[in-house]
Amino acid sequence: MKDMIVHILLAEDNDGDILLTSELIEESPYQCPLTVVKDGAAAVDYLFKKGPYKNAQVPDVIFLDINMPKRSGLEVLKAVKNDPKLMHIPTAILTTSSSTKDKMDAQKLSADFYFTKPLEVIDLEKVIKSIRK
């Protein structure tokens, strides 16, 4: 499992959270190439291979900030889980919010995971272990 390469798409607009997440991934025992997009519209374009992302690699895991410009993480999650080619990808919502409504909305949209920032090693391991190849 540790030799498995897991491509992660991180949709996050906060540079500090991007840095923390990338450092966590670098310190993990897993090989996890990381692609970062900074808003929800770019995440959708990446996932659906539009515009500058026409040759994008389909990620093995998606981490979505819930509050992003252009499209929220929940809007991106809905697009992912409604697409037969993407719906199998484990998707985690990342948020600073402890709102019960946000968590319930994410569950209704079939989020696989819901984590409060900052992401921890144990959270990353849960997501990676959920991948069935």
pLDDT of residue 29: 77
pLDDT of residue 2: 54
**DSSP output for 44-104:** HHHHTT-GGGTTPPPPSEEEEESS-SSS-HHHHHHHHHT-TTTTTS-EEEEES---HHHHH
pLDDT of residue 122: 75
Reported CATH class of domain 8-96+110-123: alpha beta
pLDDT of residue 3: 63
pLDDT of residue 62: 95
Domain boundaries, the chain: 8-96+110-123
Instruction: Kindly list the averaged pLDDT for each block of 10 residues, start to end, along the chain of length 133.
Output: 78 89 82 91 96 93 92 94 94 84 88 82 74 56
